[in-house]
C-alpha cells in the first residue's frame, strides 16, 4: 500500500498541468536526494539563504536571488521589501509594529486592472494596497502615470504571456518598467507560471524589472512549497537581512526549510541544464500516441494543438485537443472529463471541476496535457480515453 492509500487518498494521473491543486510537479531523483541530504544535518539559515540565493542568481543571470516558501511568498517578500525601502524602516521593532499594519506609510502598489486575479492578493499580505489603473481590457501610459505618487512603493505586474489583448506579455512589462523607473519606482512581476520555455527567464530579466517571482515547484520541479525571488541587490539585501525567516517579521510564517532551500537550488541547476528540445519532442510523441489511439473512432476528432507556427508562450507544451460531436456521441465533453476524474486511477485534465477552477462551460472539446504524465501512464490515458468514447457515460 502506498503513502497516499494509507491515508485513504487516491493517486492521480496528472494530465492537467503543474497546478497547486494537484501538488505542483514531481521532484526528480537528484532533487529528492538533495532534499534528503539536507535533512540529515543542521545549517546556519542566514548563511544558507545567502549562499543559496547567490547560487540561484548565478544560474539565471540575476543580480541576486532568494529561495522562498512558494511564489506567493516571493510576492509577499517583494512587496514588503519595497515598503521597507520606501519608508526607510530600519528598526526591527518598528518594522514588526508597522507591517502589515501599514496605515500612514507609503504602501500603494499600482496594478493594471486587466491583471487583477486571485494571486494578486499576495501583494497585500505584507501591508501593500493595490491601486488598480486602466480598463478591464488594457491600459495607457497616462493611466499608469496618473496613479504614481507619494504613497507609491512599487508597480505590480502579473505576467501571463499566454493571454492576448491584456498587455500581460514581456514587451508590456518592459514598457511599464521604463515608465515606473522614470518616476523612480521599482516594478515587481509575478511570473510564477511562466515556464516553459526556459528562455522566458532571460527575457524577463532583460526587461530591467526590479523583482521577479517564480515558482520553484512547477516546471522547475523543485518542492511544491518553494519559489524564487530574483532582482536588484539593494532590495534583495533587505529581504535577506531584515525580512525572511529566521527574522521575526511579516514573512516569518512563510519560511523555506533548509531542505527546501537546498532542493530548490538543486532543481534550478538541473532545470537550466535540461535539453529542452528533447523534452518537447517527448511531449509531442506522447500526444501523437494519443492521437493514434483515437483516430479511428466516430464522432471524435483528436489532434495536436501545439505548437502553432512561430508561437510558444508560457506553458505552451504540445497537448491533445479532443473535439466531440456531442449529439451523435450521446454525451458531452464535460461528462467525459468528469468520468476520467472518477476512474481508478483518476485522470485529471483541464476542465475537471475543482474548487477555484472553471469547468468546460459547455464547450464540446477538452485538452489532455502530457507534461506531467509519467512514462508508465501514457498507455493508461490512451486506453481510458478510448474506452470512454467507445462506451460513453450517460446522464
Q: What pLDDT is attached to residue 245? A: 86
CA distance 223 to 226: 6
Cβ atoms of 388 and 336 within 8 Å: the answer is: yes
The overall average pLDDT reported for the chain is 94
Mean pLDDT of 209-214: 98
DSSP 3-state of 44: coil
Residue 296's nearest CA partner among 225, 388, 390 is 390
Give the list of residues 6+ apart from residue 240 with CB closer than 8 angstroms, or none.
Answer: 46, 49, 50, 53, 66
- Reported in sequence order, the residue ranges of 15-162 that DSSP labels E, i.e. its strands, are 64-68, 108-112, 129-133, 155-158
Q: What pLDDT is attached to residue 366? A: 96
At 250-279, the pLDDT tens digits run 999 999 999 999 999 999 999 999 999 999
DSSP letter for each residue of 106-134: --EEEEEGGG--GGGGHHHHTT-EEEEES
The pLDDT of residue 391 is above 60 = yes
> For residue 307, what pLDDT band results from cuts at 50, 70 and 90?
low
C-alpha cell at position 62:
540575476
Using left for φ > 0, alpha for ψ between -120 and 50, and beta otherwise, residue 361 falls in left
Q: What pLDDT is attached to residue 395? A: 61
C-alpha cell at position 58:
548565478
Place of cell 537550488: 265
Q: What pLDDT is attached to residue 1? A: 67
Q: What pLDDT is attached to residue 201? A: 96
- Reported in sequence order, the residue ranges of 153-210 that DSSP labels E, i.e. its strands, are 155-158, 187-190
Q: What pLDDT is attached to residue 306? A: 76
Q: What pLDDT is attached to residue 308? A: 59
Least trusted range by pLDDT, from 58-62, 233-237, 304-308: 304-308
Q: What global pTM score does this model have?
A: 0.94
Give the burial class of 127: count Cβ atoms within 10 A of its Cβ; 0-12 exposed, 13-18 middle, 19 or more buried: buried
- Chain centroid to Cα 171, Å, comes to 19
Q: What pLDDT is attached to residue 356? A: 75
Q: What residue ranges define each of the domains in the chain, with the CATH number in brackets?
A: 3-20+275-390 (3.90.1150.180), 42-272 (3.40.640.10)
Longest CA–CA span in the chain (Å) reads: 71
Least trusted range by pLDDT, from 228-242, 303-317, 344-358: 303-317
The pLDDT of residue 243 is above 80 = yes
Cβ atoms of 334 and 365 within 8 Å: the answer is: no
Q: What pLDDT is attached to residue 246? A: 87
C-alpha cell at position 26:
514531481
At 45-85, the pLDDT tens digits run 999 999 999 999 999 999 999 999 999 999 999 999 999 99
Q: What pLDDT is attached to residue 164? A: 66
CA-to-CA separations, 113 to 121, 134, 143, 183, in angstroms, rounded: 13, 6, 10, 20
> For residue 394, what pLDDT band results from cuts at 50, 70 and 90?
confident
Taking each helix axis from N to C terminus, what angle separates 333-342 and 378-390, rounded to the nearest 10 degrees? 130
In this structure, which long-range contacts are made by residues 84-90, counting pairs with CB atoms below 8 Å and at least 24 apart in sequence?
84/238, 84/242, 84/243, 85/153, 85/234, 85/235, 85/238, 86/152, 86/153, 86/154, 87/153, 90/242
Give the list of residues 6+ apart from residue 57 with CB closer than 8 angstroms, or none.
Answer: 63, 64, 65, 230
Residue 371's nearest CA partner among 290, 266, 279, 306 is 279
> For residue 312, what pLDDT band results from cuts at 50, 70 and 90?
low
Amino acid at each position: 500500500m502506498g503513502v497516499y492509500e494509507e491515508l485513504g487518498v487516491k493517486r492521480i494521473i496528472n494530465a492537467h498541468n503543474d497546478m497547486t491543486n494537484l501538488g505542483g510537479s514531481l521532484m526528480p531523483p537528484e532533487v529528492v536526494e538533495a532534499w534528503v541530504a539536507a535533512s540529515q544535518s543542521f545549517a546556519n539559515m542566514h548563511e544558507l539563504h545567502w549562499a543559496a540565493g547567490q547560487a540561484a542568481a548565478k544560474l539565471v543571470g540575476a543580480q541576486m536571488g532568494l529561495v522562498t516558501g512558494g511564489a506567493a511568498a516571493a510576492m509577499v517578500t517583494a512587496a514588503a521589501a519595497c515598503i521597507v525601502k520606501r519608508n526607510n524602516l530600519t528598526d526591527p521593532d518598528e518594522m514588526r509594529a508597522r507591517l502589515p499594519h501599514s496605515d500612514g506609510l507609503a504602501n500603494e502598489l499600482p496594478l493594471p486592472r486587466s491583471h487583477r486575479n486571485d494571486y494578486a492578493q499576495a501583494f497585500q499580505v505584507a501591508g501593500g494596497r493595490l491601486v488598480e489603473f486602466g480598463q478591464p481590457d488594457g491600459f495607457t501610459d497616462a493611466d499608469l502615470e496618473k496613479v504614481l505618487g507619494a504613497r507609491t512603493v512599487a508597480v505590480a505586474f502579473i505576467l501571463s504571456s499566454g493571454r492576448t489583448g491584456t498587455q500581460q506579455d514581456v514587451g508590456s512589462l518592459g514598457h511599464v518598467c521604463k515608465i515606473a523607473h522614470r518616476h523612480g519606482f521599482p516594478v515587481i512581476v509575478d511570473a510564477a507560471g511562466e515556464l516553459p520555455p526556459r528562455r522566458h527567464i532571460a527575457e524577463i530579466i532583460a526587461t530591467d524589472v526590479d523583482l521577479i517571482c517564480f515558482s520553484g515547484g512547477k516546471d522547475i520541479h523543485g518542492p511544491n512549497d518553494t519559489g524564487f525571488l530574483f532582482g536588484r541587490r539593494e532590495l534583495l539585501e533587505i529581504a535577506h537581512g531584515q525580512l525572511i525567516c529566521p527574522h521575526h517579521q511579516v514573512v516569518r510564517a512563510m519560511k523555506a526549510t533548509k531542505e527546501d532551500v537546498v532542493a530548490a537550488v538543486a532543481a534550478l541547476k538541473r532545470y537550466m541544464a535540461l535539453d529542452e528540445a528533447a523534452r518537447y519532442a517527448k511531449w509531442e510523441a506522447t500526444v501523437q500516441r494519443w492521437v493514434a489511439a483515437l483516430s479511428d473512432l466516430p464522432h471524435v476528432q483528436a489532434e495536436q494543438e501545439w505548437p502553432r507556427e512561430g508561437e510558444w508562450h508560457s506553458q505552451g507544451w504540445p497537448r491533445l485537443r479532443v473535439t466531440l460531436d456531442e449529439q451523435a456521441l450521446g454525451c458531452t465533453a464535460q461528462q467525459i472529463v468528469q468520468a476520467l476524474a472518477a476512474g481508478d486511477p483518476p485522470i485529471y485534465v483541464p476542465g475537471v471541476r475543482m474548487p477555484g477552477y472553471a469547468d468546460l462551460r459547455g464547450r464540446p472539446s477538452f485538452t489532455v496535457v502530457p507534461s506531467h504524465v509519467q512514462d508508465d501512464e501514457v498507455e493508461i490515458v490512451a486506453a481510458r480515453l478510448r474506452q470512454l468514447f467507445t462506451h460513453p457515460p450517460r446522464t
